[in-house]
Structure 1
Amino acid sequence: MELENGPHSNYLQVLHLFAYGTYRQYLDNKAQLPELSPAQKKKLQHLTIVTLATKTKCIPYTVLLNELDIKHVRDLEDLIIEAVYSDIIHGKLDQKNSQLEVDNAIGRDIQPDDIGTIVTTLQEWCDSCEAVLVCVESQIIRANAEKNRRLKHKETIEQEVF
């Protein structure tokens, strides 16, 4: 792609971070990337929480503080509360155990490298659906055959009675 090697490639890298990267990745490459505005920084931190929530539903504060480069727990909790009120994540703060318990979160874009895995997973799901369909169809055939056998038996008994 032309943008990857052009003079504005660093902006493409920032776009990739917002699509499927993390704030820690931004910090690790900060020297090569443009400065984020406070709103952009907060958005990328929210998206980082989403990414962490896909890996585990209980995220320790220590992990969040490190990944989000936040020094104080109160600032972390404020950021999490904003994410909850913005419907970015649904969950609760477990202050006793110093962790965020995530019930669900918004989706993130997929990385191009993940497409093969997704296609394989979907193909396996389709194969499973086909197997279930074949099984259901055979049960329908068996049930209809049994129904017809019983109807014939009933007719035979009724003819014998009359």
Structure 2
Amino acid sequence: MDLLLMSDTHLPVRAKALPPELLDLVPRADVVVHAGDWADEATLDLLEARARRLVAVFGNNDGPGLRARLPEVAYADLQGVRLGVVHETGPAKGREKRCAERFPDLDVLVFGHSHIPWDSTADGRLRLLNPGSPTDRRRQPHCTYMTARIGSSGLAGVRLHELPPRTPG
């Protein structure tokens, strides 16, 4: 099972559209995960139309329309891997402990908010993943997203992808 992980797309504020490289992967993934801060409903409509399965939440910058359509926390069982998605997890300091306590029944937690890629393991069991942002790199060198795979031995092949700089136009 192939996963495509993204967050903090902030369209059309931070960019006019999703990067073509990322958009091309949407229909190929078995599950697309979006960890909030969409900013517009058009991007949600686009991913719902193109993704085989979408697991998504709203973020702190999402208005009433997105909040009416998406939960604050989403859960999915993906071939026995218990996945959760949330936008905010608080400051980096103490994140592993906080998340392990808040989500004791999960194997993987995908989150966003900071635009800073993150991959760690909490309490020896909970994998924490932040794919960064494909449209707003903030203080990072690149805009990013993640891919991963779920197989018979669980989550594997987690990979951070750096996007090329956007060209004006």
The question of a shared fold, defined as TM-score above 0.5 by the shorter chain, is answered with no
TM-score for the superposition, normalised by structure 1: 0.27
| Bigger relative contact order (CA 8 A; separation at least 6) | 2
TM-score for the superposition, normalised by structure 2: 0.27
More strand by share: 2
More helix by share: 1
